[in-house]
Amino acid sequence: MGYVIAMAGKGGTGKTTIAALIVRLIKEKKLGSVLAIDADPNSNLGEVLGLKQKSTIGEILDEISTHPEKVPVDMGKDHFIEYQVQTAIVEGEGFDVLTMGRPEGPGCYCYVNNALRNVMGKLIKDYDYVVIDNEAGLEHLSRRTTRSADAFVVVSNASAVGLKAAKRIRELIKELKINVKKELLVINSSQENIEKQRIDDLKLDYLGSVPYDMDIEKISLNGNSLMDLNEKTASLSALRKIGERIWQRN
């Protein structure tokens, strides 16, 4: 069974960057096969990992929901969805990427979402590690992807707004009844000390902070991949120190 690392955080906190760096470190440590799932409608995880997405799951479900007649008569809808999901996976060097895309349109998606959850359950078992980059609202995690995670990593910056969003995300985990073994917090782009009480109030296991990294800023501005980031850069060095508790199976 794949070890699931689910990421969430307010927009602009660097959640996708941290998710991509985790994929890179798991690959570098040769811990096993990795599937990166981009479950944020503002999809760019594949891009920061240096891969161009094919079709998205949202597009596939739209097509099946609005044109059910396109499902081959000799292939059940479940098998057709499974085939389409497999074709949407982009293969990289040491990891694969699957993009969920935007939420569904006005049609009925009850059946296809249920079928997709079954397909995703099988897919997750095929990889040693699955890193899911979610939006703050956890839409895909609760309805389409999986309802459990071995490690749930909430990414925030040091702002009051970011920390408030982190607290709300933890509340959503409980409200949506997502089965989580480890609830973790990472402060990203931190240039200041945060009062211990503000961290304690979130009721998340605080791992530490990842400093602002000019090298990441340059890569982002040039549209390059984080796989090209110098291995000795500040962000990777910091994440190596605190990351074991994210991907360690225990």
Residue with more model confidence, 73 or 15: 15
In degrees to the nearest 10, what's the CA dihedral of 246, 247, 248, 250?
A: 80
Domain count, the chain: 1
Q: How far is CA 67 from CA 59, 61, 77, 83, 102, in A?
A: 12, 10, 12, 17, 18
Per-residue pLDDT of 40-77, as tens digits, reads: 877 789 999 999 888 888 888 888 878 888 888 888 77
CA 9 vs. chain centroid, Å, equals: 10
Of the candidates 225, 222, 184, 186, which has an alpha carbon nearest to the alpha carbon of residue 44?
225
Q: What are phi and psi of 213, to 5 degrees?
A: -130, 110
pLDDT of residue 104: 57
Going by pLDDT thresholds of 50, 70 and 90, the confidence category of residue 111 is: low
Note if the pTM is more than 0.85: yes
Which domain does 156 fall in, by range?
3-247
**CATH assignment of the domain containing 204:** 3.40.50.300
